[in-house]
Amino acid sequence: MSPFSNLLRALLGRSEQRGKRRHARLRLESLEDRTTPAVFYVNTATDTPDARIGDGLARDAYGRTSLRAAIQEANFRAARDTIVIHFSGPQVIRLASPLPDLTTGIDIMGDGPQSTSVVGGATPARPYRVFTVLAGADVSIRGLSATGGRTTDNGGGIWNAGNLTLTSVWVGNNEARFSGGGIHNQGVLTVYASTISGNRAGAAGGGINNDASFAQVGMLTRPGVSASLSSMSRAGAAALAVNPDALPPGLADVLIRDTVVSYNTAGTWGGGIATGFGSDLICYGTEVKDNGAGVLGGGIWSNRATVAFHGGKVTENRASGDGGGFYVDGGLATFDQGARVVDNASAGRGGAATSSRDR
């Protein structure tokens, strides 16, 4: 019993004396439930909704725990909850509609990317991505694949504005009409021991699009500035004339370790990864391989970003314009600890790497 609960009980005790005993006890229990971490064990691959959100149970109308029901119940609760997806063999959770946005602290754990698959909606009529993490949410996803997502917006597989950590995840075969075929990040994204492959973006970042320009909306909500997040659409945010060079670093950060980014394509910039507008990208022991860009930066495109490549390599990427491996447009890019940029090709300048200063 925490001091807070004791206080609450004491306060509620007074209302008991006023003849509200039963009501008070129920209220106390539900408050305690919401702040105690829970573990929900997903036991059906069928994508069914929670029968009653807020009752502390992640169960559909048949008493089964689906991924959707677990997320719905976890979102309702203040505590950091864990969702465990474990079946006796490989299972595919084929989403019937977009999952609820992840809005709180949630850890999702599968049996591994070969065993646990969550598949988004690639229906042309009503496409949707796999996971959406909102600003303020702190989410980890481990041991599953997020595939087959599709969006007419950014982030075909995953869209992140919060703090998201992926470990042993395959983000594959997703598609975004605009940027971030696999993942669109405008928050803080950390990727460990994962594979980002086979994704497609109509514009930038076939595998990953890291874009601090969206995070400018967050800046404008600070005291002293009148614009508010809720009053501004994302299209409005994109139209803001804020000088990205004036942004403090770290508004949209990606840290990647021991990960492969391969076979992704972008219509414009950054076949593997696009990072821009004050974003940071730090890679350790990561391979960016065999990606393609329609214009600039077959492997990586960076624009006014800070990019650090520690070990690993950028190889066998291609660009129809400049920078087969790496295109640097302002900002800072460093390669150390044996990092290599080899065997890339471009139809324009800089088969390996090029900078806009070469023009």
Q: How far is the CB of 55 from Ca ion (least distance, A)?
A: 5
The residue whose Cβ lies closest to Ca ion is: 50
Compare residues 78 and 238 and give the one whose CB is closer to Ca ion.
78
Q: How far is the CB of 39 from Ca ion (least distance, A)?
A: 14
Q: Segment 306-345, which members bind Ca ion (CB under 5 A)?
A: none
User: Which residue do the tokens 């709180």 mark?
Assistant: 104
Question: Per CB under 5 A, does 57 bind Ca ion?
Answer: yes
Compare residues 73 and 175 and give the one whose CB is closer to Ca ion.
73
Residue 244 neighbours by CB under 8 Å, 6+ apart: 212, 213, 216, 276, 277, 278, 304
Percent helix, strand, coil in the chain, to 5, is 15, 35, 45
Q: How far is the CB of 67 from Ca ion (least distance, A)?
A: 13
Helix (H) or strand (E) holding 339: none
DSSP-assigned states of every residue in 93-127: EE-SSPPPPB-SEEEEE-S-TTTEEEE-B--SSS-
The identity of residue 18, as a single letter, is R
Q: Which of 73, 175, 211, 280 binds Ca ion (CB under 5 A)?
A: 73
Residue 230 neighbours by CB under 8 Å, 6+ apart: none
Question: Per CB under 5 A, does 64 bind Ca ion?
Answer: no
Compare residues 58 and 95 and give the one whose CB is closer to Ca ion.
58
Question: Per CB under 5 A, does 55 bind Ca ion?
Answer: yes
Compare residues 55 and 245 and give the one whose CB is closer to Ca ion.
55
Compare residues 49 and 249 and give the one whose CB is closer to Ca ion.
49
Residue 302 and residue 280 in contact, taking contact as beta carbons nearer than 8 Å: no
Interface size with Ca ion, residues (CB under 5 A): 5
Compare residues 33 and 153 and give the one whose CB is closer to Ca ion.
33
Compare residues 50 and 211 and give the one whose CB is closer to Ca ion.
50
Compare residues 39 and 347 and give the one whose CB is closer to Ca ion.
39
Burial of 151 (0-12, 13-18, 19+ CB in 10 A): buried
Structure tokens at 206: 């076939």
Q: How far is the CB of 50 from Ca ion (least distance, A)?
A: 4
Q: Which of 24, 45, 47, 50 binds Ca ion (CB under 5 A)?
A: 50
Query: Which residues on adjacent β-strands are paired with residue 23?
Result: none
Give the span between the Cα atoms of 205 and 185, in whole angstroms.
10
3 state SS of 9: helix
Give the span between the Cα atoms of 284 and 258, in whole angstroms.
6
Q: How far is the CB of 63 from Ca ion (least distance, A)?
A: 11
Structure tokens at 165: 């950590």
Give the span between the Cα atoms of 327 and 296, in whole angstroms.
6
Give the range of 65-73, 244-252, 278-286, 342-350 binding Ca ion by CB under 5 A.
65-73
User: Strand 105-109 to strand 138-147: parallel, antiparallel, or no bridges (unpaired)?
Assistant: parallel
Q: How far is the CB of 1 from Ca ion (least distance, A)?
A: 25
Q: How far is the CB of 92 from Ca ion (least distance, A)?
A: 24
Q: Which ranges of the chain would DSSP assign to H, the alpha helix?
A: 3-15, 21-35, 67-76, 216-220, 234-239
Compare residues 101 and 258 and give the one whose CB is closer to Ca ion.
101
Question: Per CB under 5 A, does 29 bind Ca ion?
Answer: no
Give the range of 42-50, 102-110, 237-245, 303-311 binding Ca ion by CB under 5 A.
42-50
Give the range of 55-63, 94-102, 206-214, 281-289 binding Ca ion by CB under 5 A.
55-63
Question: Per CB under 5 A, does 63 bind Ca ion?
Answer: no
Q: How far is the CB of 116 from Ca ion (least distance, A)?
A: 22
Compare residues 33 and 258 and give the one whose CB is closer to Ca ion.
33
Give the range of 57-65, 163-171, 217-225, 346-354 binding Ca ion by CB under 5 A.
57-65
Residue 148 neighbours by CB under 8 Å, 6+ apart: 119, 120, 121, 122, 130, 173, 174
Binding site for Ca ion (CB under 5 A): 50, 52, 55, 57, 73
